[in-house]
Amino acid sequence: MSLNVLVTAVSRRVGLVQAFRQALDGLRLRGTVVGTDVNALSPAVHFCDRAYEVPLSGDAGYLDTILGLCQRERIRLVVPTIDEELPLFGAAAGRFAARGIRVAVSPEITSHLCNDKYETCCWLRASGVAAAESFLPEELPAHPRLPLFVKPRGGRGSIGAFRASTADELAFFSRYVPDPVVQEYLDGPEFTIDMLCDFDGRPLSIVPRQRVVIRAGVIDRGRTVHDAALIDLGLACARVFRFHGPVNVQCRVVNGCPTVFEINPRFSGGIPLTIAAGADFPRMLLELTLGRHVDPSVGRFRHDLWMTNYESSLFVNATHVNRLRPAGEARPAAIEAVA
């Protein structure tokens, strides 16, 4: 049996590409892992079986390019990875399904709401789920309780996020940060709750991870934590929003209460730790794509498994640097790297 997977914007997601390759091998499926990117020097490009250059997700022809690539490569599962493209794929999931292609993406409305950190927390709080109290600048009370946290409503990777400890700082950052949201400052250990839902929105697996050291918004060192309150928080979020495929819930534990500050309905940067702990999200997605039943395994993973990242380099011959072909060209051979 054959099953080809396409992972978009592979960039530095080497671990995710390798996990899908291992999942295919583990299920004894013939198949390829195809990647897309805009830069031939993105490291994960060189770990894909084949890789293609595509337009940016904001390009008017982006989805048509991906769909054409899927048909040419006989793709059966598409895995979007960046926030900006999630609503696009959510809206177009039916177009792909009509051609026998599953897209591991939540509905369009879910992605729109989760891409907006203000709306995310407002929806959760209105549903009785613990989430950071959030304000637009014009909604702030005359004398807000400081410190507060100012960040872009649609940002990612902690870019443009600032603690405001004084009224002057709050006023400055509210002007400096584009389209800002102001949130209560959550002072406590930070966790990511990795969750995988089936295509009916049912949670299949939930793995909380403590983000012990964070670098450039991505976990650098962390550990899995079997905590009932964190698992329950993930389940509560899945009752508020309809998720399909991977999602990660970001929260901090304040006075023993886990409190959400954002949700990303996609694979997290720390997903290799979750997979290593026994929650093989890529394998489950492949099984779902094949139409197989996958039993929920919420809370079943290895507790207190640590991950510590390190830098590694890939050396590529100059003749292979430009092997990232435009998606409209004929199918290329696999990209090769220097051993």
Beta pairing partners, 34: 6, 50
Q: What's the CATH code, domain 133-184?
A: 3.30.1490
Strand segments, DSSP code E, in 167-224 are 180-184, 190-197, 203-215, 218-224
- Entry field: residues in the chain: 339
Q: What angle do CA 108, 13, 214 make, to 5 degrees?
A: 90
Look up the CATH architecture of domain 106-132+186-308. 2-Layer Sandwich (3.30)
Q: Please measure the distance between the N-terminal and C-terminal CA atoms of the chain and give it in whole angstroms.
A: 30
Hey, what amino acid is at 146?
L
Contact 33, 77 (CB under 8 A): no
| Total-model pTM | 0.92
pLDDT one-digit tens code per residue, 149-167: 999 998 776 688 999 999 9
* Residue 76 neighbours by CB under 8 Å, 6+ apart: 3, 4, 5, 100, 101, 102, 289
Beta strand 180-184 pairing with 4-7 = unpaired
Which of 3.40.50.20, 3.40.109.10, 3.30.700.30, 3.10.350.10 is the CATH number of 1-104+310-339?
3.40.50.20
Q: Which residues of the chain have pLDDT under 50?
A: 330-339
Contact 21, 31 (CB under 8 A): no
Residue 117: CA count within 13 A, CB half-sphere? 28
Beta strand 190-197 pairing with 203-215 = antiparallel
The pLDDT value given to residue 159: 81
The pLDDT value given to residue 40: 86
Two tokens, residue 105:
């993406």
The pLDDT value given to residue 322: 66
The pLDDT value given to residue 323: 63
* Domain extent listing, the chain: 1-104+310-339, 106-132+186-308, 133-184
- Could you say which DSSP state residue 57 is in? T
The pLDDT value given to residue 329: 58
Read out DSSP for 126-146?
Answer: HTT--B--EE-GGG--SSPPS
Please tell me whether residue 213 adopts helix, strand or coil conformation: strand
Cα separation, 324 vs 332, whole angstroms:
8
Contact 218, 151 (CB under 8 A): no
The pLDDT value given to residue 308: 94
**Other Cβ atoms closer than 10 A to 151:** 22
